[in-house]
Structure 1
Amino acid sequence: MGPDQASYLETLTVREAGGDEEDRIAARADLLSECAVVYTMQIGGPAAAKLIARRIHPLKTNVEVSLRDSVERLQEVLRGNPPPWLRKAMNKDKAGSFLDED
């Protein structure tokens, strides 16, 4: 797999968990634990902090962006020189990923 390929893995469904906001944020962060990057239209400080603590990088778009456009933009960045945070995020659970190959 490389920056010129993309494939659907799964759809995650967020269910309401717990009675307070902290429980809901933790449940969502747990659900996304295998992600390296999460695109979102909006995210609050506590939710962003939970994701970052789990080494998940939230990317706030402020507007609705199609999945296709999001993937294409990410692939463009990966084909060039990805910023250090993205290299680290993409390698968080993978030894010898395509980003390490030259």
Structure 2
Amino acid sequence: MLIAFASTDGVTVNQHFGWSKSFELYRVSAESAEYVKTLDSSEDEIADEHEKLAYKISSIKEADILYCSAIGPTASKMVLASKIYPVRSGENDRIDETITKLQELLLGNPPPWLLRIVHTSKENAI
């Protein structure tokens, strides 16, 4: 599955979804994790809030899961409607540690939301 992390430094999850200028995209399975690319979402000339959110979502459209430090209720609903599962992480959680925790969940007894994502991953449709 593909996971986008809202980050300013490529190391920590430290950005609000709507304010993030870029997202780090990783391919993650129970056994492996690899950096894929940085997704640019730096267009800041969009005044309309709904259009801005739609733009941010389009920049992470490949992702199955989004980790960010904060996300508003409207954005969260729009992200979910795009078949991306938003997860709010702790402020400055490390990306590598977040991936490790997710892998531990996958190897153990994954919650239903995570099992659903594993089985419906956009990557499986490619």
Shorter-chain TM band: 0.7 to 0.9
Post-superposition CA distance 1:9-67 (Å, at most 9, x none):
11111122522111110001111111111111000011101110011111101411111
| Partner amino acid, structure 1, of 2:114 | L
Q: Identify the range of structure 1 (8-17 vs 76-85) with the bigger mean alpha-carbon deviation.
A: 8-17
State the match for 1:9 in structure 2: 36
Q: What is the CA–CA distance in structure 2 between the aligned matches of 1:25 and 1:54, rounded to whole Å? A: 11
| Partner amino acid, structure 1, of 2:85 | H
* TM-score in terms of structure 2 length: 0.69
Identity of aligned residues (%): 29
**Which among 53, 56, 63 is matched to residue 81 of structure 2?**
53
| Deviation of the 1:70 alpha carbon | 0.8
**Which among 19, 31, 34 is matched to residue 59 of structure 2?**
31
How many pairs are equivalent?
A: 95
State the match for 1:18 in structure 2: 46
* Runs (5+) with no aligned partner, structure 1: 96-102
Structure that is richer in strand per residue: 2
Q: What is the CA–CA distance in structure 2 between the aligned matches of 1:39 and 1:59, rounded to whole Å? A: 5
* Runs (5+) with no aligned partner, structure 2: 1-27
What SS does structure 2 have at the residue aligned with 1:86? helix
State the match for 2:91 in structure 1: 63
* TM-score in terms of structure 1 length: 0.83
| Partner amino acid, structure 2, of 1:40 | C
Q: Identify the range of structure 1 (22-31 vs 8-17) with the bigger mean alpha-carbon deviation.
A: 8-17
Moved over 6 A (4+): none
- When Rg is computed on C-alpha atoms for both structures, the one with the higher figure is 1
**Which among 58, 62, 71 is matched to residue 43 of structure 1?**
71
8 Å Cα contact 1:55-1:89 kept in structure 2: no
| Partner amino acid, structure 1, of 2:42 | R
State the match for 2:18 in structure 1: none
